[in-house]
Amino acid sequence: MEDRYEILGKIAQGGLGSVYKARDVRMSRDVAIKRILIGDTSITDEATRQLIKEASALASLQHPNIVTIYDVGKDEEGPFVVMELLTGQTLEEIITKASFTWTDFRELAMQSLEALIAAQELHIVHRDIKPGNIMLTWLPSGKFQVKVVDFGLAKLSTKPSLQTIDQSDGVFGSIYFMGPEQFERIPIDQRVDLYALGCVFYYALTGTYAFDGENAIEVMASHLQHHVVPIENVRAGIPLWACNWIMWLINRQASDRPNSAREALQLFMQNDGAYFTPELSLGAPTPTAPAPTKRRKLQVPGVTPQPEVNPEPSPSVKIASVAQPLTPPPGSKPSVHLSAYSYQPPEMPAYEDPVVEIAEQTQVDTQVASEAEVHIQSISVNKPTRNAPTANLAKSTQGSLTTRTVTQTSGYTNPYAQPVRRPKKGMPDAVKVLIGVVIAIIVIIIIANF
């Protein structure tokens, strides 16, 4: 390992080992190396098996939403896995600052499910889906990309298997996002990952855990007894179908959840495209029962009554954190993905009565036509035709210029209709000119002969 990889520093510490940033000298690239911590020898074999299992699982997965594995090996310090170095933040780091907007959540949900679909095609169960194992990196275009990491608890199996336990009979996983079947030590399958992902989605939109408690025992009981506040009562402004979809993922019984990530994504996309203006959640708290009225204490004459102490009411509802849109890291170029998905209805033009509109349009057309006719007639009167008899002036004017009658049709009508010139009745002007020229020539010839 020393010949090819140069350790640059420690990145993170996990339950089974540490992650280091290193330089691949041969390929001239930065990588991440996960190494098992050598401590208690009783867990070394178990940790080694988990690491080898992670390497074999990741080697089979080639997907843009799953961390890529480059190499696996073992040296005097123990086994190690060389994988893609991710520069970004985990969901845990992001949600601690602010919850997700609906626009960003859509991308998070679809990309996360794409990763699980790829894993489920190879019968891989992650078993430890949590915000700390989902990272967000940024593409050069300014769009974030989801990366599911740490398949250290994954297991290749075509049949349900018992939950993996460590040497101290503890359960691997994160207690806030574990499925009830993981606590019950019953056979689990890929639907446990959907339950965990649903808990992550709940956490991403509200900033609170779906199943919470004061200690680990209460959190476990919350999962097993399914004590959860519906997400529509916690976060406002989310489509109700999406709230129901998330609650579908975290059903108590695995048989009531989607059968696969493919089915979950398919239903998400169908509902997302079916509603242009869906009904949104209000985030209204669940009404609580009124406190029972206390009986008044007996007042003893001559004894000063002690003031009553009212205990502070305990919070009975959850409050979502403030949502903020995700932005590229400082120093990055502006994102080209600026068309935010919005459910705001387009502004509709003010309603106008079509009958009144047609009547007003017809009146305008008639007025314009009348003014054009009067104007044309005045031009004809002021400039009569040369050599035209005075008695025939009115007749020739009426025959030479007329106006087009404007009628209302079902299509667009031009309110500024112009008068149309029609040909005069009688002999054409060209023939008259030609006759005049011939007569003039004849007159010239006669005069020349004299």
Cα–Cα dist 268/116, whole Å: 15
The side-by-side arrangement of strands in the sheet containing 78-84 is 5-13, 17-24, 29-36, 78-84, 69-75
Handedness of CA 165, 166, 168, 170 (dihedral sign): negative
Cα–Cα dist 98/6, whole Å: 37
Question: Are the C-beta atoms of 220 and 183 separated by less than 8 Å?
Answer: yes
CB atoms within 10 A of CB 211: 24
Cα–Cα dist 34/13, whole Å: 9
Handedness of CA 351, 355, 359, 365 (dihedral sign): positive
The rounded Cα 375 to chain-centroid distance in angstroms is 62
Q: What are φ and ψ of residue 240, in 5° steps?
A: -65, -30
Question: Are the C-beta atoms of 328 and 138 separated by less than 8 Å?
Answer: yes
User: Strand 29-36 vs strand 134-138: parallel, antiparallel, or unpaired?
Assistant: unpaired
Catalytic-labelled residue, pool 128, 189, 193, 365: 128
Q: Mark whether 128 is an active-site residue.
A: yes
The position carrying tokens 């915000």 is 131
Q: What are φ and ψ of residue 124, in 5° steps?
A: -105, 130
Question: Are the C-beta atoms of 132 and 174 separated by less than 8 Å?
Answer: yes
By annotation, the residues acting in catalysis are 128
